[in-house]
Chains A and B, each alone.
Chain A
């Protein structure tokens, strides 16, 4: 066992043990605890849990690498995955907390109709499922590189841990482990970032100091056949950057596993401040990521530029074993670099390794490398658990009890919730070991699907009393139909042929257009049909005011 493997094992075992202890201490015995943690999570803790829930293996492992190779256009992920929280905080979270039940489809069902609830439950399951497979696979990558396990073994270990704490503690267990996982992942992300910033620039705050190396990055990159790093719109046209950022923002605000996290706060006010704390905790990582990307890319290029192939640094060989780094056959000296295997560069680097390999590339000691591995696992586990809860609650709460057994006792509901959770874990394991070919492509599009389906239906439901069931249903169907059709048209999935993008709009960007179509169709159809019944207007009216009228602050009583 190498030193890196030893440290990785130590950190993984310690963190897993911590998660299980937390799960045992927060086990639940009621459905309210299982689905919404009894509405009793303090604001700051809930913010940390949202952050861990939201930041997936993709945020932790892939994003800095994506940004490093996209250069300026990598901002679509940075802005897109944070700007959505502004929408969430102002348009959705406080109102759904006020309404205060268990699932997102349940809100749509109460506001519109049972049919809309069923459509929403199916959409929630599909979106969450495509997302969770990526998490399982991300966990597998960490295990296979750092512990020498194969992907199957890695996925099984990760799933066993998730199984224990999610089945035992439901939302309560998941929330408190997510708080711990956030702590692990942010420490693991910041320590190497600070160390690398200090090493390269002599100033330890990466957010401020990476400006110093941008000029160098531009010139070294140019010598190795890359676009200028800070130049905008080199990888994607402006219209596409605009629409992808918008899609990711709207999609974030429409993802069920993020929305339900706001059901767990004590009050409406708590939901608002939770959104602030969530973005605060997320911003710690998201403002560091572009710095990590820039530093690592510079280090990496300077480490290999002009070197003979047999004199490359050790990390190249370590990662070549996983197939994520490849030296082109027949090359003697490294003169060019790319993240695209088809670009024909001398050295091809997968986006996913930049974060995981950054301590090695910068020559940091083994314990830090082990810590980063544990951080990657924490990011994957926390998101997977949140997604599995959505799948299990949609199956048990929105399908089984709504459609099949309407009169079930609390005990039975809890049991079925646990069985559904167990079933979801097993399906995720099978898919994670053996990802269906389309999943890797589809996972990036979960945002488009969420943007074009949930977001408009929820926002109209809160802000426009006149919106009725038939309008909402038509909007969801139209938005999803357009989005899915365009994705199938432009992507090479299910054996379909790939077509050129229309008006420079990539399939990742179509969700914003889908959401617009959803809004327009829902409004037009609602206007043409009968208004919703009075009790629904009253329900909407009630959502809008946090407390009962007549509440006065303790210190300063005033008339009203």
Chain B
């Protein structure tokens, strides 16, 4: 990158980087919280109380531990990839060729 002196205009030059990164981290924290709650929360810590509820023959805690958490993981990664596409485009850092098509 170019060298910049601290007093010219680093604000606008650097601001978008900070905003982009913060957007990424915020998305990540939300998704990882869901990741934790569903697997470690529903599948392990709360498994015993949830097992009192039975759905289609599955005790609910058991279902989260052996099925539900995996489906949720899959959705989380998909949401992450789609939201990051939007974030990349918003800040103009998506990977595109000279015609603007995705590589």
Q: Interface of A with B (CB < 8 Å)?
A: 67, 72, 74-75, 78-79, 82-83, 85-86, 89-91, 94, 207-208, 211-215, 230-233, 238, 241-242, 245-246, 266-269, 272-273, 275-276, 279-280, 283, 286-287, 290, 538, 541, 544-555, 557, 560
Complex: chain A residue closest to B25, CB-CB: A463
- Does B26 lie at the interface of the complex (its beta carbon under 8 Å from any beta carbon of A)? no
- A238: which of B44, B76, B77 is its contact (CB, 8 Å)? B44
Q: Is the interface of B mostly helix, strand, loop or mixed?
A: helix
Would B67 and A207 count as touching, CB distance under 8 A? yes
Q: Which chain A residues lie closer than 8 Å to B92 at the CB level? A: 549-552, 560
Q: Which chain B residues lie closer than 8 Å to A268 at the CB level? A: 95
Would A273 and B58 count as touching, CB distance under 8 A? no
- Given A72-B65, A538-B1, also A276-B95 (CB < 8 A): no
**Count of residues in B whose CB is under 8 Å from the partner chain:** 55
Q: Which chain A residues lie closer than 8 Å to B56 at the CB level? A: 208, 211-212
Would B69 and A83 count as touching, CB distance under 8 A? yes
Report Cα–Cα, A75/B80, bound state, in Å.
25
Report 15 cross-chain contacts, Cβ distance below 8 Å, ordered by A residue: A67-B66, A72-B47, A74-B66, A75-B66, A75-B69, A79-B43, A85-B73, A211-B56, A233-B47, A272-B77, A272-B84, A276-B74, A545-B17, A551-B95, A555-B100
Complex: chain B residue closest to A541, CB-CB: B17
- A266: which of B58, B63, B103 is its contact (CB, 8 Å)? B103
Interface membership of chain B positions 23-52, coded 1 if the CB is closer than 8 angstroms to chain A and 0 otherwise? 010001001100100011001110110010
Would A549 and B93 count as touching, CB distance under 8 A? yes
Q: Which chain A residues lie closer than 8 Å to B31 at the CB level? A: 86, 90
Would A551 and B66 count as touching, CB distance under 8 A? no
- B40: which of A72, A246, A541 is its contact (CB, 8 Å)? A246
The 8 closest A-B pairs by CB, nearest first: A211-B57, A554-B100, A75-B65, A272-B81, A211-B58, A547-B95, A232-B47, A560-B92
Report Cα–Cα, A555/B101, bound state, in Å.
9
Interface membership of chain B positions 78-103, coded 1 if the CB is closer than 8 angstroms to chain A and 0 otherwise? 10110011001111111110011111
- Given A90-B28, A554-B101, A560-B91, also A273-B70 (CB < 8 A): no
Q: Which chain A residues lie closer than 8 Å to B39 at the CB level? A: 79, 83, 245
Q: Is the interface of A mostly helix, strand, loop or mixed?
A: helix
Q: Which chain A residues lie closer than 8 Å to B100 at the CB level? A: 551-555, 557
Complex: chain A residue closest to B66, CB-CB: A290
Q: Which chain A residues lie closer than 8 Å to B62 at the CB level? A: 72, 75, 214, 230, 232
Would A86 and B32 count as touching, CB distance under 8 A? yes
Complex: chain A residue closest to B76, CB-CB: A86
Residue in B16, B67, B101 with the greatest tally of chain A CB atoms within 10 Å: B67
**A75-B66, A269-B103 known, 5 other contacts, Cβ within 8 Å:** A83-B73, A269-B95, A280-B74, A547-B96, A557-B100
Q: Which chain A residues lie closer than 8 Å to B70 at the CB level? A: 78-79, 82, 283, 286-287
What's the minimum C-beta distance from B41 to chain A, rounded to whole angstroms?
10
Report Cα–Cα, A541/B80, bound state, in Å.
20
Complex: chain B residue closest to A242, CB-CB: B44
What's the minimum C-beta distance from A91 to chain B, rounded to whole angstroms?
8
Complex: chain B residue closest to A201, CB-CB: B57
Would A551 and B94 count as touching, CB distance under 8 A? yes
Report Cα–Cα, A241/B57, bound state, in Å.
23
What's the minimum C-beta distance from B94 to chain A, rounded to whole angstroms?
5
Complex: chain B residue closest to A560, CB-CB: B92
Report Cα–Cα, A287/B88, bound state, in Å.
33
Residue in B16, B44, B71 with the greatest tally of chain A CB atoms within 10 Å: B44
Would A545 and B66 count as touching, CB distance under 8 A? no
Would B85 and A269 count as touching, CB distance under 8 A? yes
Q: Which chain B residues lie closer than 8 Å to A232 at the CB level? A: 44, 47-48, 51, 61-62, 65
Would A85 and B77 count as touching, CB distance under 8 A? yes
Q: Which chain A residues lie closer than 8 Å to B28 at the CB level? A: 90-91
Q: Which chain B residues lie closer than 8 Å to A560 at the CB level? A: 90-92
- B74: which of A242, A283, A545 is its contact (CB, 8 Å)? A283
Report Cα–Cα, A290/B58, bound state, in Å.
12
Would B102 and A269 count as touching, CB distance under 8 A? yes
Report Cα–Cα, A90/B80, bound state, in Å.
8
Complex: chain B residue closest to A555, CB-CB: B100
Would A290 and B94 count as touching, CB distance under 8 A? no
Report Cα–Cα, A304/B4, bound state, in Å.
78
Q: Which chain B residues lie closer than 8 Å to A90 at the CB level? A: 28, 31-32, 77, 80
Q: Which chain A residues lie closer than 8 Å to B84 at the CB level? A: 94, 269, 272
Report Cα–Cα, A554/B98, bound state, in Å.
9
Would A276 and B81 count as touching, CB distance under 8 A? yes
Would B74 and A79 count as touching, CB distance under 8 A? no
Complex: chain A residue closest to B21, CB-CB: A544
